[in-house]
Structure 1
Amino acid sequence: MISGTAVVQVVIPFLILLTAWLMPALAGPTLPFGVRTPPAHANAPVIAEQRRAYHWWVGGVGGAVLAVELVCCLAFPSTPLFAGASTAIAAVSTVGYLRARRAIRTVKHGEDWYGGLRQVVAVDTSLRTDPVRYPWRWAVPALLVPVFSAALATVEYPSMPDRLPMHYATHGKADRLADKSIGTAFTPIFIQLALTGLLMLVTWLVLRSRAELDPARPAAGAARHRRFVVRTAGSVMLLGACVNLGMLAAAWQTWHGTLSFFPAPVLAPITAGLLIVVAIALRTGQGGRRLATSEPDGAAGEPADPQVVAPDDDRYWRAGGLFYVNRQDPSLFVAKRFGIGWTVNFGNPRCLLLLVGSAAFITVLQLIGR
Structure 2
Amino acid sequence: MDLKNLILFYGFLIITIFVLFIGMALNINNLNYAGVIYGVRVPNKYRKDIKIKKIDKEYKKKSVIYILILTIIFSVLIFNFQKVFISIVYIFTMVFLQFYLYSKANKEMKKVKEEIGWKKEFENKKYIEIKNLDKKDYDNKINMKWFIIAFLIAILSLIITIVKLKSLPDLVPVHFNFNGDVDRYADIRTLGGKIEIFLIPIMSMFIIFIMYISTFIEYKKRKNIKLNGGTYEQIREIENTTFKSINDMMSGISIFIAVLMLCITFTMTGIIKSNKLGLNITMIITVIMVIYIIIYTIYLMIQNKNINKYYNSKSPEYYIDDDDEFKWGIFYYNPKDKSILSRKRMGIGYDFNYGNEKAIIIVVILDFILISSLVMTIIMGV
TM-score by length of 1: 0.76
What code does the residue aligned with 1:7 have? G
Aligned residues: 354
Tell me if 1:179 matches 2:188. yes
- What displacement does 1:310 show? 0.8
d(CA) in 1 for partners of 2:286 and 2:217?
24
Q: If each structure's helix is expressed as a fraction of its own residues, which one has the higher value?
A: 2
d(CA) in 1 for partners of 2:331 and 2:75?
33
d(CA) in 2 for partners of 1:263 and 1:316?
47
Deviations 1:309-331 (A, max 9, x none): 4101001112x122213355566
d(CA) in 1 for partners of 2:280 and 2:64?
27
d(CA) in 1 for partners of 2:133 and 2:368?
31
- What displacement does 1:71 show? 3.6
Aligned to 1:368: none
Against the structure 1 CA distance between its residues 125 and 25, is the aligned structure 2 distance closer, same or farther, given a 3 Å change threshold? closer
d(CA) in 1 for partners of 2:147 and 2:23?
24
Aligned to 1:239: 253
Against the structure 1 CA distance between its residues 234 and 47, is the aligned structure 2 distance closer, same or farther, given a 3 Å change threshold? same
RMSD: 4.3
- From 199, 203, 206, the equivalent of 2:215 is 203
Percent of counterpart pairs with the same letter? 14
Is 217-226 or 31-40 further displaced after alignment?
A: 217-226
Tell me if 1:284 matches 2:300. yes
Within 5 Å, which residues of 2 pair with 1:243-262?
Answer: 243-252=257-266, 254-255=268-269
Deviations 1:87-132 (A, max 9, x none): 2221222221111111111221244232233433232115897754
Against the structure 1 CA distance between its residues 220 and 47, is the aligned structure 2 distance closer, same or farther, given a 3 Å change threshold? closer
d(CA) in 1 for partners of 2:144 and 2:71?
37
8 Å contact 1:326–1:348 — kept in the other structure? yes
Find the residue that maps to 1:125 and give its secondary structure. Answer: helix
Deviations 1:303-352 (A, max 9, x none): 845xx54101001112x122213355566544322223222334567747
Find the residue that maps to 2:187 and give its secondary structure. Answer: strand
- From 193, 197, 204, the equivalent of 1:192 is 204
Against the structure 1 CA distance between its residues 159 and 258, is the aligned structure 2 distance closer, same or farther, given a 3 Å change threshold? farther
What code does the residue aligned with 2:211 have? L
d(CA) in 1 for partners of 2:275 and 2:83?
14
Unaligned runs of 5+ in 1: 366-370
Unaligned runs of 5+ in 2: 374-382
8 Å contact 1:199–1:240 — kept in the other structure? yes
d(CA) in 2 for partners of 1:41 and 1:88?
33
Tell me if 1:59 matches 2:64. yes
Deviations 1:118-151 (A, max 9, x none): 4332321158977542221342453243133224
Tell me if 1:44 matches 2:36. no
Against the structure 1 CA distance between its residues 244 and 313, is the aligned structure 2 distance closer, same or farther, given a 3 Å change threshold? same
d(CA) in 2 for partners of 1:97 and 1:267?
34
Aligned to 1:272: 288
- What displacement does 1:204 show? 0.6
What code does the residue aligned with 1:24 have? N
Within 5 Å, which residues of 2 pair with 1:1-370?
Answer: 1-3=3-5, 4-21=8-25, 22-27=27-32, 30-75=35-80, 81-118=86-123, 119-125=125-131, 132-154=140-162, 156-164=164-172, 174=183, 177-180=186-189, 183-210=195-222, 211=225, 213-214=227-228, 217-252=231-266, 254-255=268-269, 266=282, 268-285=284-301, 289-290=304-305, 297=312, 304=315, 308-318=317-327, 320-327=328-335, 333-347=341-355, 351=359
- What displacement does 1:243 show? 3.3
8 Å contact 1:192–1:244 — kept in the other structure? yes
What code does the residue aligned with 2:325 have? Y
8 Å contact 2:18–2:67 — kept in the other structure? no
d(CA) in 2 for partners of 1:151 and 1:201?
24
Deviations 1:189-237 (A, max 9, x none): 1111122222212221111224363576325523441332132133123
